[in-house]
Amino acid sequence: MSTMTKPYDQWESYHDIDRYGKLTLSNIEFTTTNLCNMRCAHCAVGYTLQTKEAAAIPSEEIIKRLDSVETLRVMSFTGGEPLLTKRGIRDNLLPLLKYAKSRGIKTQINSNLTLPMSHYELVAPYLDVMHISHNWCDEREFVETGFAMMEQKPSIEKRASLYRNILDNARELSKGGMFVSAETMLNRNTVPFIEKIHHEVADEMLCKRHEIHPMYASDFASALDVINLDEYRDVVNQILDFRNEDIWILFGTLPFYPCSTDERDKALLSRIHEASNITIRNDVDGRSRMNLNIFTGDVSVSDFTDDGAALGNIKTASLEEIYTKWLSTNISSSINCHCPAVKCLGPNIIVKNMYYPTQKFTSGTVKGDYSHA
């Protein structure tokens, strides 16, 4: 049985099970902009992006709803590009970041990191994690893929300069003490270059963490090929072989579970469990987290659910009421799986539909720890 220390993941949903004995609303993700300076081919919210920002609900009204969620412990901010305009930072982001700071709530911003450093300096005093997407094999691929869905593209020189901004900004923010976490989605474009990407994240960008996630075939990304489970298992084993052991690797929504009857899955999970500086995160969407759109007040399971349907609106219901309504739905029940012995909450609905469309996951299937799973 391994006794080595694992990094503590503030965003892990299972912390709520440990504390409250049940799924709990502890995490709110805010859609704070529909603007973005890019149009990536793999964007999971691409069709929601706009060229003009709508008026947001006053932050005071949002904060009133947040006040009632006593279990709130983490908040994330996404878009679009949340840091695109200083006006958006001032009006939509900073009031919520300052509120979180006053309550001791941990915060994360999802950014493409292409912007001037002055944008990041505005939020740095209040931010815990700068989360970035890094799916680029090289500058040329960024120039092409990062703007693939944009009708009027900037010049090649301008796009190339934004790529260099990512590397420079990540390095400077990391040197300044910010926790920069880079996420890479595994698909047919990234897998051949995953070793290069990893070492770039660790050695050149100096990120504290490299997150590895499946690609969600949603919105713009619906046209891209999803790798199969055999390919996924192979590339995860490769990452474990070549990784820089000084950087935390987080496997998010890893589509392999201790209840698997495939010995290759069990071997992979044991390998991860016994390795230092590597963790697996139970999916947060619909477990501990809901998404709140600050323009409409709509609350949904995530910002990229398959149908985009809102479960409720903060103008007419509390966040707890909406969360309770979600837990009572058939979709929630279909993925509400829990094996306490290995602290596993099973797949989210997107991963289940992608990789396990006919399989039923049953709570309590795994009776022992990873050494006996």
Say yes or no: domain 14-330 is CATH 3.20.20.70.
Answer: yes
Mean pLDDT of 160-188: 97
Distance between CA atoms of 141 and 186, rounded to whole angstroms? 15
Question: pLDDT (tens digit, 9 = 90+) per residue, 31-40?
Answer: 999 999 998 8
User: What pLDDT band is residue 370 in, cutting at 50, 70 and 90?
Assistant: low
Question: pLDDT (tens digit, 9 = 90+) per residue, 43-78?
Answer: 878 778 888 899 999 999 999 999 999 999 999 999
User: What pLDDT band is residue 28 in, cutting at 50, 70 and 90?
Assistant: very high
Residues contacting residue 168 through CB under 8 Å, at least 6 positions apart: none
The pLDDT value recorded for residue 365 is: 92
The pLDDT value recorded for residue 315 is: 97
Distance between CA atoms of 54 and 43, rounded to whole angstroms? 21
Q: Structure pTM?
A: 0.94
Q: Residue ranges of the domains in the chain?
A: 14-330
